[in-house]
């Protein structure tokens, strides 16, 4: 006689719906809680540490400000990557996405560069098709802040949640400019800037 067992709630958030079971550890996880993102490719002067979960800016000039990409590629579903700013200097940080086949051009002033870049400089300037859209908000990110970048491939949008202020920014992605798959990107601007991926 066959028996059925109810799915266990998520081991991270206790959600009981949209749960899948890991074949390896046999724990159950809510689909958007599964995060194995790490930092990978770096353009500029930065060091990776703690199994590629921490990136630290070594030297910052306009030619060496590190641009750091995630290792995962995103085409379907909803994914969340949570960051903590371990240390931040006086200059803003960029959090966002770019199509996986491209990297950010350092000559970003050109109209034709970085068309697939979407994200935010410190939540006060959205980046759409590589172009900065200024908002009324002042800079709010600081050392110790936590942020969650949500990549909602099914709804073709990304969101950045700033947990201390409870602000949520959202951008719709034009798939003609930024087709799947996507990869995450951050940019550090000050020597000593340090960002951690929380798992």
Q: Which domains does the chain have, with CATH numbers?
A: 7-31 (no CATH), 37-198 (2.60.120.920)
Positive or negative torsion for Cα 171, 172, 178, 182: positive
Model pLDDT, residue 163: 98
| 31 φ, ψ (degrees, to nearest 5) | -55, -35
* Upstream peptide bond of 181 is cis (omega within 30 degrees of 0): yes
Model pLDDT, residue 199: 86
Output the DSSP codes for the chain.
Answer: -----PPPPPTTT---SSEEE-TTT--EEEGGG-----EEEEESSEEEETTTTEEEE---STTT--EEEES--B-SSEEEEEEEEEE--SS--EEEEEETT----S-TTSTTS-TT-EEEETTTEEEETTEEEE-SPPP---TT-EEEEEEETTTTEEEEEETTTTEEEEEE--TTTSPSSEEEEEE--STT-EEEEE-
Per residue in 21-46, is it b (16+ CB within 10 Å) or e — as a string? eeeeeeebbbebbebebbbeebbbbb
Model pLDDT, residue 144: 98
- Binned average pLDDT, 10 residues per bin, the chain of 199 residues: 49 55 58 77 96 93 87 96 97 96 73 83 92 80 98 98 96 98 97 96
Query: Which tokens in the block code for residue 35?
Result: 């995060």
pTM: 0.81
Nearest 5 degrees, angle CA 91-CA 98-CA 183?
A: 100
Model pLDDT, residue 5: 45
Query: Which tokens in the block code for residue 7?
Result: 């799915």
């Amino acid at each position: 006689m066959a028996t059925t067992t109810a799915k266990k709630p998520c081991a991270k958030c206790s959600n009981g719906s949209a749960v899948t079971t890991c074949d390896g550890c046999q724990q159950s996880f809510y689909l958007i809680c599964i995060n194995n993102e790490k930092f990978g490719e770096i353009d500029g002067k930065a060091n990776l540490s703690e199994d590629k979960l921490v990136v630290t800016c070594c030297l910052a000039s306009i030619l060496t400000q590190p641009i750091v990409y995630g290792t995962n590629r995103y085409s379907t579903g909803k994914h969340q990557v949570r960051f903590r700013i371990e240390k931040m200097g006086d200059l803003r940080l960029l959090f966002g996405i770019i199509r996986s086949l491209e990297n950010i051009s350092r000559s970003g002033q050109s109209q034709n560069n970085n068309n697939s870049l979407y994200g935010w400089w410190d939540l006060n300037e959205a980046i759409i098709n590589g172009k900065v859209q200024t908002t009324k908000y002042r800079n709010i990110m600081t050392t110790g802040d936590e942020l969650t970048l949500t990549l909602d491939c099914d709804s073709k949008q990304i969101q950045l949640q700033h947990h201390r202020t409870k602000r949520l920014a959202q951008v719709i992605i034009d798939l003609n400019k930024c087709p799947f798959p996507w990869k995450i990107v951050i940019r550090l601007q000050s020597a000593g800037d340090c960002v951690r991926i929380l798992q």
